[in-house]
Amino acid sequence: MNWADAFHLAVRSVLRRPGRAALTVTAVALAAALFTAMLTMAATAQGRVLNQLANGGPLAGIQVAAAAANPSQLGSDNPTQGAPKPITQATRSHINQLPGVVSVLPIVTAQTLVLWPNHAVAPTARGGPDQSRGVVFDEMVGIDLEHAADLPITVLEGHLPAPGSLTEVAVTPALLSKYGIGRTHVASALGAVVELGAPRGFRDPDGFRAFRSRWTRATIVGVVAEEAGSGGVLTSLPQATASHAWTAAGDPTVDSDAPRSPYAGLFVSARGLGQVSQVRSEITRLGYSTSAPENIITTVERYVHVVEIVLAGVGVIALAIAALGITNALLAAVRERRREIGILKAVGARDRDVLRTFLIEATVIGAVGGLIGTIVGLLLARIVAAVVDGYLASQGLAGVHVGIPYLLVLAAVAGSAGLSLLAGLFPARRAARLPAREAVEL
Amino acid sequence: MAGMSLCHRYPGPNGEVSVLEGATFEVPAGGYAALVGASGAGKTTLLALIGGLERVQSGSLMVGEHQVAALKGDALAAYRRMTVGFIFQNFGLLEALNALENVEMAAVLAGERTVARRARARELLGSVGMSHRLGHRPAALSGGERQRVAIARALVNRPRLVLADEPTGNLDADTSEEVMRLLESLREEHGCTLLVVTHDKVLARRASGLLALDRGRIHAS
Amino acid sequence: MRVLPILAGALLLAACTSAPQTSKAGSTSKPVVYVAVGASESVGVGLTDPLVGAWTQRFYRDSLKPSAVFVNMAVPASTAMQALQAQVPTAASLKPTVATVWLNVNDVFDGVDPVVYGRQLRSIVSTLSRGGAATVLVANTPPLQLLPGYLNCLSGQERATRTFSCPTPVPTATALQAVVAAYNAQIASVTSSTGALLVNLNAAYTAAERGGTTASLVGPDGINPSNAGQALVAHAFAAALARAHSAS
């Protein structure tokens, strides 16, 4: 009997007892679902945690601050910074040529008044010198928006400003909270037009200190969580550069806090996590303070791996129980079909024909159960992710992303089928050894 | 076909039960013999020995050129498949398969190609008058119909010997008559040897040879 | 839970369709740089929310395209002379395409000679216009004799604010009217000869006065415009710019 004929006979035999087949398939499916859901969730959680640690940027990202290096900074992910030290175009190109560096993205920050005409400022944000309605003081963070994906920025609502745009901005929930807009309502800010005023310190003829602002208007097109700079307004590079230039040219006796460094910082991407240390020490040699979540990422990766092993272990135990269920069901089938097996042998079936048929039965049950279970498991993971997303959204955080881990799907289906094949081995051998005499009643 | 001094014992609840004690018989090639005897006389055991379903414990058994006692494993399976056609009292059809597939199964085991075996199964089912019920499962067939399918299956690999164990045991008188006639006509058509086990004297008389099994021995007439 | 993003998407859609500014944002053919030169009125002194209510901010917000950049160089209490020294150099360095000038109230009350004032204003306007590269809008002097602050000075109830203290001696209403007329003649002469646009605040206030709303146009200090006054001024500047645009 060839494989195709054996498969045909096996499928017919499985279908003859649809109830039992369904139960056995369900057991395998449940186990596979558990297995898949657990691994998918573990992988998703790992991605989410690492993404959180890297603030949505690349894992091998290094932030260079416009400050002098602290001698002991290499041992720490977030060292305290030294005295201000300007980052210039020359610094940028120098770092770009360091070995292990993939890209260097400039970050320009500028002080800014944010004027939202006719929008009340939340009581907690009032106070300070300027209590005008609708005006809060914040910082503008200008980035190369074409490479926003390589920076620690997560879009919560809407989208990022168009690269080079002077009339679009994204804002952070922290800025919106100054206007009394809670984290669950940040989307309501989209489409609003705000006026941004970069202040410049002047000494008036009468000796008074005065600030005159360079105003621009912009539409809020997105709400983002960003760690590229410390500001609440994310803009294009030219927008922030113009604002910075206006403020930096002010009278230093009036505004000593005005940032003078052309670049507030650089975001350096190393080739991989392993290169981060080396690149950081090179930048330290240039005298700049750096920070990178390398240590914590490595630690978390290690922990998550342990969790994955434990979860996979639970899944494997479930699959083993399901496999025992297959063994049991097949043993019952063998006992029930003694006469049929005898008949099959009486009409000339060899031991291996019978063995093959039963093994195929087991494998078919395992594969079908594995497939159904994997699909259910992925759906389960998606449902959990949706619930978690809802929670994260209510906290004003970026949601999780569940991809379809094709390799995992393949492994789960193949694994279930393989395990079932093993589970079928014992009953199949027993069936194969039944004598042909079972066909007749003696 | 010839049997010499066949002895056979079964382990029973009160020690071994001896069923055959030196049974000796001969059926000529192409012959038609009936094997009769009281219930429990060992008719089915003898048939199982001849059909290769049961191992020969002592004595010798020749079927054609096959020394049955010497056959083992795949050779024994091949013997059951190619040399013998078995017809069971309770039909012995596989419930999961329909009539055509049941007949085909014997050819499937013989490794015959799909097109050829399907054509042969259809032809045989036609010759037993079952052309109209090819797709029916055994459960949907009457006793007589099931036995016709079983007969077709027994013949699918062109065996030289057809063994029938109480082929009409579960059938009413009219159907029994039909089935026996069919069996006999097919025997003539295919030119194979036919050995029918029965306890029905009338049925036994239709055969050209009679083997009577009594207390483990065979009396031929 | 899936409803949230859909809702957010719907909000975004609604927000986009209700924000006509976003569609205009694309048309940035030439960058508009607007500078304001002026005194306390142009800063919005006396307003609760000067950045929202000052006419300069209103003019920028409502009359210029979304990509426009605006710097308000106005210094409270500034005269034309002081502005020429402290405001105009920086303002001109910004290479404005639109400039507004409202400098006359402090000069009037400081007793600056109208002819001297005219010379200084001409210098301011020609520096800002950079040979016609910028559209310069110049406001003339409103009818000052109606200001509560002036009337208080006249009646002897002297009041001084940071930006205004009574002139000595306090001119009579007729004398003040004559000075204002002389100033406005100088302003008209400067605008007509330099190609600047005249913003006739005097006429706008007079028209409002006939409508009986003058009092509400002045803020609590009796001199600087109230929110309604700032709106009136912004409208006058907007109308002048619109007239110039439709003429060209």
Q: What is the 3-state secondary structure (H, E, C) of C126-195?
A: HHHHCCCCCEEEEECCCCHHHCHHHHHHHCCCCCCCCCCCCCCCCCCHHHHHHHHHHHHHHHHHHHHHHC
**Ramachandran area for residue A204 (φ above 0: left; ψ -120 to 50: alpha; else beta):** beta
Residue from C144, C194, C190, C192 nearest C170 by CA: C144
In this prediction, residues A123-136 reach a mean pLDDT of 61
Of A191, A242, A393, the CB nearest to C4: A393
In this prediction, residues C18-30 reach a mean pLDDT of 41
In this prediction, residues A138-156 reach a mean pLDDT of 87
Residues in Cβ contact with C25 at an 8 Å cutoff, skipping those fewer than 6 apart: A165, A167, A168, A219, C66, C67
Interface test with C, best of A211, A215, A219 (most C CBs within 10 A): A215
Contact C145, C109 (CB under 8 A): no
Residue C54: pLDDT above 70? yes
Phi, psi angle pair for C160, to nearest 5°: -125, 140
Report chain A residues whose CB lies below 8 A from the CB of B81. 347-348
Give residue C8's pLDDT.
Answer: 37
Contact A385, A400 (CB under 8 A): yes
Cβ of A348 and B106 within 8 Å? yes
Give residue C16's pLDDT.
Answer: 36
- Rounded to a whole number of angstroms, the CA Rg of chain A reads 33
Which H or E element spans position A227? Answer: none
Q: For residue C167, what are its two tokens?
A: 């002139």
Task: Give pLDDT tens digits for A282-303.
Answer: 888 888 988 887 777 778 878 8
* DSSP symbol at B71: -
Q: Cα dihedral angle (A294, A297, A299, A304), rounded to 10 degrees?
A: -160
Highest mean pLDDT among A11-20, C32-41, C200-209: C32-41
In this prediction, residues A42-59 reach a mean pLDDT of 73
Of B47, B97, B110, the CB nearest to A348: B110
Residues in Cβ contact with A282 at an 8 Å cutoff, skipping those fewer than 6 apart: A95, A98, A99, A100
Interface of B with A in 129-168 (CB under 8 A): 153, 157, 165
Q: Order across the sheet with B15-26: list the strands.
A: B15-26, B2-12, B58-63, B66-67
Give residue B132's pLDDT.
Answer: 92
Residue C167: pLDDT above 70? yes
Sign of CA dihedral B124, B130, B134, B137: negative
CA end-to-end distance (rounded Å), chain B = 16
In this prediction, residues A243-265 reach a mean pLDDT of 84
* DSSP symbol at B101: H
Residue C32: pLDDT above 50? yes
Residues in Cβ contact with C154 at an 8 Å cutoff, skipping those fewer than 6 apart: C170, C172, C173
Contact A366, A416 (CB under 8 A): yes
Q: Could you give the CA distance from residue C186 to residue B97 in angstroms, rounded to a whole number?
A: 114
Residue B109: pLDDT above 60? yes
What are the Cα distances from residue B206, in Å, to B30, B42, B221, C215, C221? 15, 21, 13, 137, 138
Give residue C28's pLDDT.
Answer: 41
Q: Could you give the CA distance from residue A411 to residue A418 in angstroms, rounded to a whole number?
A: 10
Of C12, C69, C77, the CB nearest to A158: C12
Mean pLDDT of chain A: 84
Beta bridge pairs of residue C98: C34, C135
Phi, psi angle pair for A60, to nearest 5°: -95, 35
Task: Give pLDDT tens digits for B65-83.
Answer: 888 888 888 899 999 999 9
Give residue B204's pLDDT.
Answer: 87
Q: Where are the alpha helices (DSSP H) in A85-145?
A: 89-96
Question: Using omega within 30 degrees of 0 as the cis cutoff, is the peptide bond preceding C169 cis?
Answer: yes
Of A9, A13, A436, the CB nearest to B80: A436
A15 at the B interface (CB within 8 A)? yes
Residue A33: pLDDT above 80? yes
Contact A98, A282 (CB under 8 A): yes
Contact B51, B84 (CB under 8 A): yes
Cβ of C60 and A197 within 8 Å? no
The total number of residues written for chain A in this structure:
442
> Is pLDDT larger for residue C176 or for residue C26?
C176
Cα A138 from chain centroid?
29
Residue B180: pLDDT above 80? yes
Beta bridge pairs of residue A200: A212
Q: What percent of chain A has pLDDT over 90?
A: 24
Q: For residue C198, what are its two tokens?
A: 């005249």
Cβ of A135 and C51 within 8 Å? yes
- Rounded to a whole number of angstroms, the CA Rg of chain C reads 20
Contact A353, B73 (CB under 8 A): no
Which chain B residue shows the shortest CA-CA distance from A441? Answer: B44
Q: Order across the sheet with B32-37: list the strands.
A: B84-87, B161-165, B193-197, B32-37, B209-214, B217-220
Contact A210, A262 (CB under 8 A): no
Give residue A170's pLDDT.
Answer: 94
In this prediction, residues B96-103 reach a mean pLDDT of 92
- Count of beta carbons in the 10 Å neighbourhood of residue C153: 23
How much of chain B is in helix, strand and coil states, percent to nearest 5? 40, 30, 35
Q: Could you give the CA distance from residue A398 to residue A49 in angstroms, rounded to a whole number?
A: 11
Interface test with A, best of B97, B105, B114, B151 (most A CBs within 10 A): B105
Give residue A308's pLDDT.
Answer: 81
Q: Could you give the CA distance from residue A240 to residue C88 in angstroms, rounded to a whole number?
A: 25
Give residue C196's pLDDT.
Answer: 94
What are the Cα distances from residue B149, in Å, to A347, B124, B179, C45? 13, 9, 11, 110
Give residue A194's pLDDT.
Answer: 93
Give residue C29's pLDDT.
Answer: 56
What are the Cα distances from residue A48, in Å, to A195, A225, A332, B116, C108? 35, 14, 46, 61, 68
Q: Could you give the CA distance from residue C243 to residue C248 in angstroms, rounded to a whole number?
A: 9
Cβ of A347 and B111 within 8 Å? no
What is the DSSP pairing of strand B84-87 with strand C69-72? unpaired
The least confident of A14-18, A174-178, A389-393, B48-52 is A389-393
Which chain C residue shows the shortest CA-CA distance from A389? Answer: C1
**Ramachandran area for residue B109 (φ above 0: left; ψ -120 to 50: alpha; else beta):** alpha
Phi, psi angle pair for C236, to nearest 5°: -65, -45
In this prediction, residues C180-202 reach a mean pLDDT of 95
Helix (H, G, I), strand (E, B) or coil at A270: strand
Q: For residue C78, what are its two tokens?
A: 């500034």
What is the residue type of C50? P
Query: Tokens 């002077």 identify what position?
Result: A166
In this prediction, residues A8-23 reach a mean pLDDT of 88
Residue A129's pLDDT band (boundaries 50, 70, 90)?
very low
Q: Could you give the CA distance from residue A31 to residue A255 in angstroms, rounded to a whole number?
A: 66
Cβ of C70 and A214 within 8 Å? yes
Mean pLDDT of chain B: 87
Residue C10: pLDDT above 50? no
Residue C233: pLDDT above 90? yes
Of B95, B101, B105, the CB nearest to A347: B105
- Rounded to a whole number of angstroms, the CA Rg of chain B reads 17
Task: Give pLDDT tens digits for C58-95.
Answer: 999 999 998 999 999 999 889 999 999 989 999 999 99
Residue from B197, B199, B213 nearest B41 by CA: B213
What is the residue type of B148? R
The CA-based angle A163-A168-A174, given to 5 degrees, is: 110
Phi, psi angle pair for A348, to nearest 5°: 115, 10
Give residue C5's pLDDT.
Answer: 40
C44 at the A interface (CB within 8 A)? no
Interface test with A, best of B82, B88, B157, B166 (most A CBs within 10 A): B88
A336 at the B interface (CB within 8 A)? no
Give residue B154's pLDDT.
Answer: 92
Helix (H, G, I), strand (E, B) or coil at C187: helix
Residue from B73, B86, B209, B199 nearest B151 by CA: B86
Give residue C125's pLDDT.
Answer: 95
Residue C191: pLDDT above 90? yes
Among chain A, residues having any CB pair with chain C shorter than 8 Å are: 113, 115, 117-118, 132-135, 157-158, 165-168, 187-188, 190-193, 195, 197, 204-206, 210, 212-219, 221, 242, 246, 386-387, 389-390, 393
Give residue C151's pLDDT.
Answer: 85
Residue C4: pLDDT above 60? no
Residue A84's pLDDT band (boundaries 50, 70, 90)?
confident
What is the DSSP pairing of strand A101-115 with strand A193-203? antiparallel
What are the Cα distances from residue B86, in Å, to A259, B23, B106, B163, C230? 101, 21, 11, 5, 113
Cβ of A133 and C52 within 8 Å? yes
Residue from A259, A201, A252 nearest A230 by CA: A259
Task: Give pLDDT tens digits for B113-145.
Answer: 889 999 999 999 998 889 999 999 999 999 889
What are the Cα distances from residue A270, in Å, to A58, A367, B215? 9, 43, 95
Residue A55's pLDDT band (boundaries 50, 70, 90)?
low
In this prediction, residues B186-215 reach a mean pLDDT of 87
- Can chain C be said to touch chain B, i.e. do they have 3 or more Cβ pairs within 8 angstroms? no
Q: Could you give the CA distance from residue B52 to residue B76 in angstroms, rounded to a whole number?
A: 7
Query: Tokens 């004559």 identify what position?
Result: C178
Q: Could you give the CA distance from residue B144 to residue B140 in angstroms, rounded to a whole number?
A: 12
In this prediction, residues A402-426 reach a mean pLDDT of 85
Greatest alpha-carbon pair distance for chain C in Å reads 75
Report chain A residues whose CB lies below 8 A from the CB of C14. 191
